[in-house]
Structure 1
Amino acid sequence: MKKNYLLGMALITSLSFYSCDKEVVYVQDGNGVESVADGAQIITLQVENGGDGLATRAGRPLFSAEAKQTIENVKLWICDGTGNVKYVKEISAWNTDDVSTVYTTGGHGRQTTIELTDADKLAAGTYKIYAVGYSNSSAYTLTDVTKVAKEGTFNENMVLPCSTAGEEIFAGQMELTVKQGKGFKKPVVLNRQVAGAFAYVKDIPFMEGAKYLKLVASAQNQSLILGSFNSVDLTGNGSGNDANVKYVVNGTNGKSGSETYVISTIDLNKWFTAIKDEDGDNLIDAGENWKNPHRPSGSPAAGTYPTFQKGSAFGGEFVIPFAHVDGKQTLTLQLTNAGGKVLRSWKVNLGSTDEQLKQTITCWNSGSTDWSTSLSGESANTYSLVRNHLYGIGTRMNDDPGKGTDPDPDPEPTDPDQPESLNNKQELVLKVNDNWEVIHGMELD
């Protein structure tokens, strides 16, 4: 699978200082090695997996484990060793051809080249390059990003309050040393900073008054921390085989209280014309009673909207990562009526062999404002939702598994994407996915 993180494979960069012999520096730009003009200092910023415009609000909706993104803005800044900002670049309308160009080497996405000239050139010394990719009208309070200015000072570990459960955002950094008369090339990778969770289910039990399927969590953070980045070019979308995979909870400002917090809500009336069981099998009737709520009216072009198996229902959201709560089930799927009364519920567990169960989780310590907290004790029932990992009920690797050829595909046992049956299930297996760094398969209990 192609990676779903924002790849600034950039900031493959070449900042060079030349003696009188006019040294020529070479930069790998994603299409091969090319020469750079004498004395040039160049940053090639590459954003991988450019997305396909399925967004309906600030940030894209989560419809699957597909590796993609739909950000509109990238901001880059360079700081010296004491935190003084020496260079700032803001890029808007990122996905337009006059701002960035398509590249296909090593993945797919868009790239642009930034040249540091005249007063912007860096002197010899040690620097850090930071970059953040975000959406227009973002749900995050981005003051700490937008206020970064040249000649100002910068302290990493930004705190970004969020007005929703979470929204996709990318960030990363690169450390570099510039030597007099020497150029360099080194990548910086911008990875997704949030987790994701979804439920893709079928065979939904019929219960009188049933209206919603809710994926609820034991905790919820309301702010995201940009820091402790995993600025690594990870291999495979959610394979989990990369040695550089990390397990980080970069959320803070948790909600107080003992109630559960709803991550996503599936309104069954949007997926079925009526909540009924006329054939007496104790399941909500599918067939002609089913509809795809994400299919536009009329005759939409194939491949321009998400498709789902007949009889299924889907709900998913990006989530600000949170640590597990001792003694509390982390995720639960609930079937409720309109008033919120729980008619049926399923525990959502990590599989017994999931790699996360072996890990010590790195967490943000809001008290000391650093990354000094380590969390152990992950279990199948009580587990953390960590950065750039996707936790899914059922298998759904693509927004449009049928590529638009069948807008309402009938279920086939050989299909790679499969909703999880809720019929006679006590546990749900949760699957976590990255490029997502890791795709976790969750189990229903």
Structure 2
Amino acid sequence: MKKNYLLGMALMASLSFYSCDKEVVYVQDGNGVESVTDGAQIITLQVENGGDGLATRAGRPLYSAEAKQTIENVKLWICDNTGKVVYVKEISDWNTDGSTVYTTGGHGRQTTIELKDADKLAAGTYKIYAVGYSSNSDYTLDAVTSVAKEGTFKENMVLPIKDGAANKIGEEIFAGQIMELTVTEGKGFKEPIVLNRQVAGAFAYVKDIPYMEGAKYLKLVASAQNESLVLGHFNSFDLTGNGSGNDVNVKYVVNGTNGKSGSETYEISSIDLTQWFTNIADNDGDNLIDAGDNWKNPYSSEGHPTFQKGSAFGGEFVIPFAHVDGKQTLTLQLTNEGGTVLRSWKVNLGSADEQLKQTITCWNSESTDWSTSLSGESSNTYSLVRNHLYGIGTRMNDEVDPEQPGVDPDPDPEDPDDKPESLNNKQELVLKVNDNWEVIHGMELD
């Protein structure tokens, strides 16, 4: 039998930065090719739950490293050894009637497809591809939606952000492939195709915010920004442990292109402090913005998510980008309404972070292949890589206390799974990457 699993990623490879819970797509019902006595060909698509921005837009927002998914569509192609598409399957209601919950070997949603009659594959060698995406996407999805049966499948699809889209940073999307499936006459098979999250994630979860006259925003800014996502060089493995980084199949890939870098910085997320605090004031004279009764959850009317009282949060999915030599990759800025920086913190990877030991695989836009290998990652200058979550502070769930949904808790006692970073007297931020996200990176403030 042939079963294909679509698994959704997660927060996150994270950011406190952690490798987040991955949202992955699988096509499989086990490991490896298996002969089936009745010759049936069955594909089970699984999307594992994965990570999430606070902004309302296409795709789900990122609130934490929690594993979840909201994609509506999954599209699967089977191609012969010439690249010709011999089978196409589209599922347009994936997260509702198009799939069911599964908990074996992971957690997410799945559905089973059996190839019958004229759809059955003849003996030969095939490649299988699958993509999971949002209906009202901010990506230009022509490269995905236009590929039909009898057409030619093009590997390494480039998905630009749409002209006029409010979101220029990134949106969660899943993809994966099987590079070679051999079908033998009279035998069935089952083979996994795992769809992992194709973007990175970044968030700032902070408390004890310094009071400065005119302060209005906390902005997480970056040294570079890519405006197109490349679907290719997939990590088609069922990663275990949300953001643990211990899986031998963890990869470090920058799959963004059409980038910008230079003297300016590029905003990833912006926290409007007036949405979190009734007044930007320091009436008790401790040089911090008053919390206590002055604090409010701007999302409480939605019933979720919850946050530790006195904190503030901002996060987004990000199209991965390579580090810029000599430039601080991420910086947290406290600004006034006009954008003047009142105070800033460098956001660094911890000195022992595994990413600092890696050579990063990058898309080469000139040769249109994966020929660029990037070394020289450092605590200050590091890349944001696919399916890794980079976070300031620790936030593993959308609900601070999943057992008390809708309740914003007091800061004590301290919860190791929900711990906003204090900005009081800090000069360095530490990022962590989190999902089943592949890795969760803990970030430091400088």
Q: CA deviation at 1:132?
A: 0.3
Structure 2 match to 1:192: 197
Q: CA deviation at 1:10?
A: 2.8
Q: Which of 168, 172, 177 is residue 173 of structure 1 equivalent to?
A: 177
SS in 1 for 2:355: helix
Q: Which of 217, 221, 226 is residue 221 of structure 1 equivalent to?
A: 226
Structure 2 match to 1:207: 212
1:160-193 Cα deviation digits (max 9, x unpaired): 0014200000000013111112222221110000
Matched, 1:361 2:360: yes
Structure 1 match to 2:256: 251
Q: Aligned equivalents of 2:55 and 2:342: distance in 1?
A: 33
115-124 vs 243-252, which moves further: 115-124
Structure 2 match to 1:379: 378
Structure 1 match to 2:391: 392
Q: Aligned equivalents of 1:418 and 1:401: distance in 2?
A: 9
Q: Which has the higher contact order (CA 8 A, sep 6+)?
A: 2
Structure 1 match to 2:61: 61
User: Which residue identity does 2:177 align to in structure 1?
Assistant: Q
Q: CA deviation at 1:257?
A: 4.3
1:259-299 Cα deviation digits (max 9, x unpaired): 100000000000000100000000000000000001117xx
Q: What RMSD in Å do the two structures reach over aligned CA positions?
A: 2.1
Structure 2 match to 1:88: 88
1:209-268 Cα deviation digits (max 9, x unpaired): 000000000000000000000001111000001111000000000125421000000000
Matched, 1:25 2:36: yes
Q: Aligned equivalents of 2:441 and 2:170: distance in 1?
A: 19
Q: 1:435 to 1:259 in 2, by over 3 A?
A: same
Q: 1:55 to 1:205 in 2, by over 3 A?
A: closer
SS in 1 for 2:143: helix
Q: Aligned equivalents of 2:300 and 2:145: distance in 1?
A: 36
SS in 1 for 2:293: helix
1:374-418 Cα deviation digits (max 9, x unpaired): 000000000000000000000001110212356221012531210
Q: CA deviation at 1:155?
A: 1.6
1:26-425 correspondence to structure 2 within 5 Å: 38-49=38-49, 56-97=56-97, 99-162=98-161, 163=165, 164-174=168-178, 175-255=180-260, 257-296=262-301, 300=303, 305-403=304-402, 404-405=404-405, 407-416=407-416, 417-425=418-426
Question: 8 Å contact 2:300–2:406 — kept in the other structure?
Answer: no
Question: 8 Å contact 1:6–1:189 — kept in the other structure?
Answer: no
Q: CA deviation at 1:107?
A: 2.5
99-108 vs 205-214, which moves further: 99-108
Q: Aligned equivalents of 1:25 and 1:143: distance in 2?
A: 37
Structure 2 match to 1:29: none
Q: 1:397 to 1:50 in 2, by over 3 A?
A: closer
Q: Aligned equivalents of 1:402 and 1:413: distance in 2?
A: 12
Q: Aligned equivalents of 2:326 and 2:262: distance in 1?
A: 15
Q: Aligned equivalents of 1:93 and 1:9: distance in 2?
A: 17
1:140-159 Cα deviation digits (max 9, x unpaired): 00000000100011120000
Structure 2 match to 1:443: 444
Q: CA deviation at 1:7?
A: 3.7
54-63 vs 377-386, which moves further: 54-63
Q: Aligned equivalents of 1:143 and 1:179: distance in 2?
A: 34
Question: 8 Å contact 2:157–2:231 — kept in the other structure?
Answer: yes
Question: 8 Å contact 2:125–2:181 — kept in the other structure?
Answer: yes
Q: CA deviation at 1:423?
A: 0.3
What is the TM-score normalised by the length of structure 2?
A: 0.90
1:342-380 Cα deviation digits (max 9, x unpaired): 000000000000000000000000000000000000000
Question: 8 Å contact 2:399–2:406 — kept in the other structure?
Answer: no
Q: Aligned equivalents of 1:264 and 1:284: distance in 2?
A: 20
Q: Aligned equivalents of 2:55 and 2:279: distance in 1?
A: 28
Q: Which of 11, 19, 22 is residue 5 of structure 1 equivalent to?
A: 22
Q: Aligned equivalents of 1:194 and 1:256: distance in 2?
A: 19
User: Which residue identity does 1:279 align to in structure 2?
Assistant: D
Q: 1:419 to 1:24 in 2, by over 3 A?
A: closer
Larger Rg: 1
Structure 1 residue ranges without an equivalent (≥5): 17-22, 27-37
1:23-74 Cα deviation digits (max 9, x unpaired): 9927xxxxxxxxxxx443211111222899x994311100001111110100
Q: Aligned equivalents of 1:430 and 1:385: distance in 2?
A: 11
Q: 1:249 to 1:405 in 2, by over 3 A?
A: closer
SS in 2 for 1:111: strand
Q: Aligned equivalents of 1:6 and 1:402: distance in 2?
A: 22
Q: Aligned equivalents of 1:68 and 1:95: distance in 2?
A: 10
Q: Aligned equivalents of 2:131 and 2:407: distance in 1?
A: 36
Q: Aligned equivalents of 2:283 and 2:408: distance in 1?
A: 22
Structure 1 match to 2:428: 427
User: Which residue identity does 2:173 align to in structure 1?
Assistant: I
Larger relative strand fraction = 2
User: Which residue identity does 1:5 align to in structure 2?
Assistant: K
Q: 1:176 to 1:395 in 2, by over 3 A?
A: same
Paired positions, count: 418
Question: 8 Å contact 1:218–1:330 — kept in the other structure?
Answer: yes
